[in-house]
Structures are given as C-alpha cells and as structure tokens.
Amino acid sequence: MEKVSRDVERKGYLLFKQKKARVELETEKRIHLKVKGETEEHAVIFDKEKNEFSCDCQFFALKQKTCSHIIACKILLIKLGKCPFSISRE
Ligand SMILES: [Zn+2]
C-alpha cells in the first residue's frame, strides 16, 4: 500500500476522533461516506471491488494521493469491520 505522510495521517485520525466521518450509504459495490472538513463537507467513496478510496477534495484531485478525509474514513471502516485494510505506518 502507498505510504501516507504523517501529517495527513494525523489529520485523518483527528477527523475520525472528532467524529467528523460518517457512513452515508452502503451499496453492493460501494460505501459512500461524508467527512466534515474545515470549510466544507467532502464525499469519500470506498470501492469494494477495487479496494480503493476516492475523495472529492482538491488535495486528492491534484495529487491523486490519500488525503486526511480518506484516512478518517478508512479508520472508521476498519472500526466497523467493513474494510480489509490496516493503516500503514512510515
Ligand atoms: Zn479528501
């Protein structure tokens, strides 16, 4: 799995701890989540078939890298037992 910077990881963990991430809808193929960011709410989608996360924020759009919103959702899904991933550490 790709490495996530410590800064992004910490931010994501904080978002999770502050309960900013929630599951909005789960379908057969996808889990749709919402994360309240500093200024706006972001939509994160977990694709169960590809085992991939995507987010609608600028950071993800520009860098195609795991953002703090995705980390928050990943932790949430792991806690809910819905995600096969573990959090990678540098
Ligand atoms: Zn994001």
55 C-alpha vs ligand 1 centroid, how far in Å? 5
Q: Note the pTM of the prediction, 2 decimals.
A: 0.88
Q: Distance from the CA of 6 to the center of ligand 1, in angstroms?
A: 15
For residue 47, what are its two tokens? 């694709």
Annotated domain spans of the chain: 6-79
Which H or E run includes 29?
A: none
Q: pLDDT digits over 38-81, tens only?
A: 889 999 999 999 989 999 999 999 998 999 999 999 999 999 98
Find the 28 Cα to ligand 1 centroid distance in Å. 23
Helix or strand or coil: residue 76?
A: helix
- Cβ(48)–Cβ(31) under 8 Å? yes
